[in-house]
Amino acid sequence: MNTFAFLEKAARQRPDAPALVQGDEVVSYREFHDRALAVGGNLLALGLGAGDRVAFCLANSPRIMEVIYGCFAAGLIVVPVNARLHAREIAYIVGNSGARVLIHGAEYQDGIIENETLFEGVTRFCTEPAAGANPLDDLYDPARALTAGVEAKPEDLCWLFYTSGTTGKPKGAMWNHRMVRCVIMNYLADLHNIQPGEMVLHCAPMSHGSGIIALPTVARGAVNAIMDSASFDVDALLATVERLKVSHIAFMAPTQIVKMLEEYVPGRHDISSLKAICYGGAPIYVDQLRKAVETFGSIFVQLYGQGESPITITGMSARLHQELLDAGDARIGSAGQIRTDVEAHCVDADDNPLPPGEVGEVVARGDVVMPGYWANPEATAEALRGGWLHTGDVGYFDERGFLFLLDRAKDMVISGGNNVYPREVEEVIILHPRVANCVVFGIPDEYWGEAVHAVVVPKPGETLTAREIIDFCGEYMAGYKKPKAVDFVAELPVSGYGKILRREVRDRYWEGHASRIGGGAGAKVVQG
């Protein structure tokens, strides 16, 4: 079954109903269906064939959904790129995936031109007239539109989700049609049962978690409403909830929930239509969660997953949130229970299953787990050894199957719901001509959960400022990856093999904190 069939069915059943909404733009299901077929047909007319990759880097808009479903319809593999990445980072993903086409917003044009050698051989389409790029409107020419979606087998790839690895180089988690279908059905079954016509609002990047939740929205013939503000604006969000009678906010990082609590003005907007807010991707303090439930009602839904098993390993429904809070149950500090059609447990260093209460690495399996990483058999073998996805997260399951996350086997930092790997930041800092050495890690931060922090060793006789290091990083990478603070030292501790002892340095900043993932001393945290 081709995932495009979900859109095809929705367009047949609800042709004139709104499918995609942003500001004053309303795209009906008939129009969405026809535009996706046009995108698919025009991509094939370029000479692309089944299994070819098409990358996009776009700010949130209906165009994202049209491109995704256009690729599904044509049997192509879509490669969403985080819209916050630097042009060089975009180029790496385009090159690694072998994407023949890049669809991008006009805001990326200058960066692409500055690094144009990295994009050689790639056909580009831009949302506005731009040198070296075709107009995006060319992909909507109805003369070359497909008449229907192509046939697809369950194991055919349809999506490459790029997620960083321990080396800092992004890896493409391969998703096939069976996997995407299972993610869709699991979300509807376990987290929020979206209904036809329901208004689902997106205020987080649709290249990631929010865009994944857009898929079950389409499957149910509901409305994907998209915020048109460039940054997260609480008043604009709640005004949109009131205007559109939004019932479900697709995905929020905990930092957005905290900001919403800080800026919420009771009575300013009628948000009584709101029935569910899905959150994940980073820690949230239990006290903050409790206050959110008290303020907005029992509407919060938690998910835990990763790109290799998108949004689907464990979860906690709105009902379960309320039950645990009412009972004063410590399980509110967990990452929820194993999802319906997923298997998961913890293993020791030799991959032996551990009983409830014993700490080890979280592993999972099921049709929601990727078949592997794109063009990376070594990483695939490591991540999927023994037939289980090794998440790199350390924790334990209790006797009722609630997952408590304690640490990360890998060094990834989750800051405001964004994944940052220290190695990729270090590789940039070390390029600075006055830097001798450095180490990067996450430190506790009440707002961000974790903040990216750098400890730098200047070269002998050189002096540096934190601002110089932060600005230098900004020339090479997305803003959210830059250190939020920098300390300077004369030397870093190293092992007998000369390896920097990252944890020894990092642990000094975590003294008095309950876990390595976030939270103040003695505080419970919820992992998303």
Separation CA 317–CA 276 (nearest Å): 9
Which pLDDT score is estimated for 475?
94
Ranges of the chain whose pLDDT falls below 70: 164-168, 282-283, 285, 407-410, 495-499, 513-528
HEC profile of 434-470: CEEEEEEEEEEECCCEEEEEEEEEECCCCCCCHHHHH
Separation CA 145–CA 143 (nearest Å): 6
**Whether 58 contacts 82, CB under 8 Å:** no
Which pLDDT score is estimated for 523?
32
**Whether 272 contacts 265, CB under 8 Å:** no
Q: What three-state secondary structure class fits 136?
A: helix
Which pLDDT score is estimated for 516?
47
Give the pTM: 0.85
Separation CA 240–CA 232 (nearest Å): 12
H or E, element range at 176: strand 170-176
Which pLDDT score is estimated for 418?
83
Structural domain spans, the chain: 4-394, 413-526
**Whether 307 contacts 171, CB under 8 Å:** no
Which pLDDT score is estimated for 229?
82
H or E, element range at 503: helix 502-509
Which pLDDT score is estimated for 409?
64
The torsion angle over the Cα atoms of residues 497, 499, 503 and 508, rounded to 10 degrees, is: 100
Q: Which residues fall within 8 angstroms of residue 358, CB to CB, at 6 or more apart?
A: 346, 348, 396
- The structural architecture, per CATH, of the domain 4-394 is 3-Layer(aba) Sandwich (3.40)
Separation CA 4–CA 147 (nearest Å): 13
Which pLDDT score is estimated for 448?
85
Which pLDDT score is estimated for 499?
66
b/e for 269-283, b at 16 or more Cβ within 10 A? bebeebbbbbbbbbb
Only one residue has tokens 């090159």, namely 95
CATH number of 413-526: 3.30.300.30
Which pLDDT score is estimated for 24?
96
